[in-house]
Amino acid sequence: MTKQFYQFPKDFWWGSASSATQMEGAAHEGGKGENIWDHWYKEEPNRFFDEVGPENTSNFYHQYKEDIQLMKELGHNSFRPSISWSRLIPTGDGEVNQEAVRFYRDAFQTMRENGIEPFINLYHFDMPMSMQEKGGWTSREVVEAYVRYAKICFEQFGDLVTKWFTHNEPVVPVEGQYLYGFHYPAELDFKKGVQAGFHAVLAGAKAVQAFRDGGYAGEIGVILNLTPSYPRSQHPEDLKAAHIADLFFNRSFLDPFVKGEFPEDLVKLLDEEGFTPEVLEGDLELIANNTVDLLGINYYQPRRIKAKENMPNLQAPFLPERFFDYFHEMHGRKMNKYRGWEIYEKGIYDILVNVRENYGNIPCFISENGMGVEDEGRFIDENGQIQDDYRIEFYKSHLKWVHKALEEGTNVKGYHVWTFIDNWSWLNAYKNRYGLISLDLNNNFKRTIKKSGEWYRSVSEQSGFED
Ligand code: BGP
């Protein structure tokens, strides 16, 4: 096969993403308040893989200058961390922590000085504990506290940041906290989940409104994990089940954030099932009038859906599972043999086509895409470098589909990998490694660039690659 060069625009955003709780460390330093992860780890450390908790991250809080130099070395022109709400406002709705203001200002300033645009996310799964005690996203009071927090961020950092995001993957806390139990408080209650989801949308719209009212420079967006829902067959029941999965896990956030309205079918379904959330006068109008400028898309794997065989099991605890089974395995598809997730590169293209055709071709970028690998230490060579050719293949195969979507006119402006340095990942801790750079927890947080890191540098330098 002849080789081809996949050229992306010169100003394409190349970089990576992480989040405060997953990379900062210093969980109990610098005046930071407790968030739900600090609390959960203190209460139930055995829930976490190898009992490793959120103080054991890659230590960005102390090593950010070194890490930003490494980003520059790997050719990053952008990086997306998040701000920790409980670091900036330890009680969630009280005093601002000046030490946190100094830390974030210096980190963002250092990024800028090194040609790295800070893409700043306001919320990445890390509810301050005092806010969770008030009900977290199920509480209207917490929505207001979040909006105050967002305004404080715009005021304190607005001169250094021009790309803001209201949330990362807002559907995940709904699933984790109220549907499946992998985020604190693991309280399985579908009705609360729907309310929390509605409040996250409302909070996002209010933050967008505050950003525009404040006249800040730049753009504001949201980061969504989109999982194309493919039916197992063309049988009407499978098609219906796939549609319901799409409504719950994609369109519940994509439609209101981008179009300003919830899908009619979703509203109808929730109503029929008795799960309509509390909506106050003016809420829907506010959501309609404050849609985002920019959409970040996280993509890892699709959903493969088949209708439940014995529908409906009305006693099933969670509504989505009454309608469908979600499974990874499918004959003839490529599985990630290093971890167990399906690899389906074309999914990234299907999402981009959908955004172009059905969401007004809103400016977007791939905000996370990556491959988690268990026991990655097995791939270290004699020089101490991880030879992760599988990851290079993963990136190439996805980028080819992004390139095709771009050529067809999709307004896609960048590609961020998950992640820069191996990071701590919630209950999974360090089970799956994702970084362009490996982290040695037993050797003073030593960072070593992986083979994929070297490859990614050449991609960002040329804004493209040959294959
Ligand atoms: C994304 C989240 C990240 C990170 C990643 C990998 O959905 O935005 O925060 O956790 O998934 O997850 P995991 O380590 O569980 O494979």
Under the banding of pLDDT at 50, 70 and 90, the label for residue 1 is confident
Say what the ipTM of the complex is.
0.94
Distance 368 CA to ligand 1 centre (A): 9
Phi-psi region of 387 (alpha: psi -120 to 50; beta: other; left: phi over 0): beta
pLDDT (0 to 100) of residue 106: 98
Q: Which of 49, 70, 298, 280 is nearest to 168 (CA)?
A: 298
Distance 430 CA to ligand 1 centre (A): 11
Is the distance from the beta carbon of residue 57 to the nearest atom of ligand 1 less than 6 Å? no
Under the banding of pLDDT at 50, 70 and 90, the label for residue 320 is confident
Mark whether 55 is an active-site residue. no
Is the distance from the beta carbon of residue 227 to the nearest atom of ligand 1 less than 6 Å? no
pLDDT (0 to 100) of residue 170: 98
Is the distance from the beta carbon of residue 301 to the nearest atom of ligand 1 less than 6 Å? no
As a whole number of angstroms, the distance between CA 270 and CA 276 comes to 5
Q: Which of 96, 50, 7 is nearest to 425 (CA)?
A: 50
Distance 311 CA to ligand 1 centre (A): 32
pLDDT at 332 over 70: no
Edge-to-edge strand ranges of the sheet holding 229-231: 229-231, 303-307, 324-327
Compute CA 122 distance to the chain's CA centroid, rounded to the nearest angstrom: 11
Under the banding of pLDDT at 50, 70 and 90, the label for residue 321 is confident
213 contacts: CB under 8 Å, gap ≥ 6 = none
Is the distance from the beta carbon of residue 418 to the nearest atom of ligand 1 less than 6 Å? yes
pLDDT (0 to 100) of residue 330: 59
Average pLDDT over residues 254-262: 99
pLDDT (0 to 100) of residue 382: 97
Q: Which of 410, 295, 396 is nearest to 345 (CA)?
A: 396
Catalytic residue (choose from 261, 368, 374, 376):
368
Helix (H, G, I), strand (E, B) or coil at 11: coil
pLDDT tens digits, one per residue of 22-78: 999 999 999 999 999 999 999 999 999 999 999 999 999 999 999 999 999 999 999
Neighbour count for residue 98 (Cβ, 10 Å): 11
CATH number of 5-466: 3.20.20.80
Under the banding of pLDDT at 50, 70 and 90, the label for residue 340 is confident
Q: pTM value?
A: 0.97
Is the distance from the beta carbon of residue 169 to the nearest atom of ligand 1 less than 6 Å? yes
Distance 425 CA to ligand 1 centre (A): 6
